[in-house]
Chains A and B, each alone.
Chain A
Amino acid sequence: MSANETDQIAPLLLLAVRQLEVAMEDAAAEAELLSRAIAALGERGVHMRDTGGDSTQAKALPILADAQRAMRALQFHDRLSQRVSHVRDALEKIHGGLATQDHDDWQKLKRSIRALYTMEDERRLFDSIVQRVPVGPEPARDAIPCGSVELF
């Protein structure tokens, strides 16, 4: 890559990093508000279940079920923000290594970027696209072991 091309690409990479940061900050603030609202809904449901009469208790159950579903759904924000932060960190590393001409340095950079991806499906994508390793068919969405509990 020529010095001129590097000069053109570097600020664009920094811009992408900053845009991702702003998006993550916005989303985190909203997610926090939502999580507080869901927690409050759950608390109200628990209070109704534990202190009300039969009919109040019956009304509390769907509220508690809704709060639980919402809690589970909102946790996807956590997965999403982790994925975005891995991409942001990878772009930052690429920005730092743009000027390098050395093949070994690029290999080192790729290894350090792979290490950023902590989820199995992220690493799978990396290996398939960057390392061009055949990784077989992508697992079905519902095959990702969300919520699985393993006691040692």
Chain B
Amino acid sequence: MTRTILTVDDSTSMRQMVKATLQSAGYGVIEAADGQEALDFARDNAVDLVISDVNMPRMDGITLIHELRTLPSHRLTPLLLLTTESSQEKKMEGKRAGATGWIVKPFNPDQLLATLKRLL
């Protein structure tokens, strides 16, 4: 069965890069341009994993993680943050919100796929 990953980023080119990487490994991909759009989708749809940017308009990635964790359907969904932020403070904020992991951009496609394999 195809696993579906929700990828959230306000940069179209970043979404393209993540999508191409995931599709090359056979994953199904749903895209959202910000946290709010992702949350609206995730409320009514199951996904196997979420990869989200942190700094986005309307709703940032950490708020998205926090909101997703309040939904019973996403209590156990792996939620990864993919961001240019590398400060320990911000990372801890993500962890407290319920993130499963933190990846610093630019991501390495092989490393990203290996991480997904571990989580799914």
Q: Which A residues are within 8 Å of any B CB, using their own CB?
A: 28, 31-32, 34-36, 38-39, 42-43, 45-46, 64, 67-68, 71-79, 81-82, 118-120, 123, 144-152
Contact = CB atoms under 8 A, between A and B. Distances in A.
B12 A146 contact: no
Contact of B12 (A28, A45, A145, A151): A28
Nearest to A39: B20
A74 B95 CA distance: 28
A150 B24 contact: no
Nearest to A41: B20
Interface of B: 11-14, 16-17, 19-21, 23-24, 54-55, 84-87, 90-91, 95, 99-112, 115, 118-119
Contacts of B90: 118
Contact of B106 (A34, A79, A149): A79
A42 B12 contact: no
Query: What's the dominant secondary structure at chain B's contact region?
Result: helix
B17 A74 contact: yes
Contacts of A148: 86, 103-104
Given A149-B115, A150-B91, A152-B102, A39 B55 contact: no
The 6 closest A-B pairs by CB, nearest first: A75-B106, A39-B20, A35-B16, A35-B13, A151-B101, A147-B108
A79 B84 contact: yes
B24 A78 contact: no
B14 A152 contact: no
Contacts of A77: 13
A31 B101 contact: no
A62 to B, nearest CB: 15
Given A149-B115, A151-B100, A152-B95, A39 B108 contact: no
A24 to B, nearest CB: 11
21 contacts: A35-B13, A36-B16, A39-B16, A39-B19, A42-B20, A46-B23, A72-B108, A75-B17, A77-B13, A78-B105, A79-B84, A79-B105, A79-B106, A119-B85, A146-B105, A147-B105, A147-B106, A147-B111, A149-B102, A149-B103, A149-B112
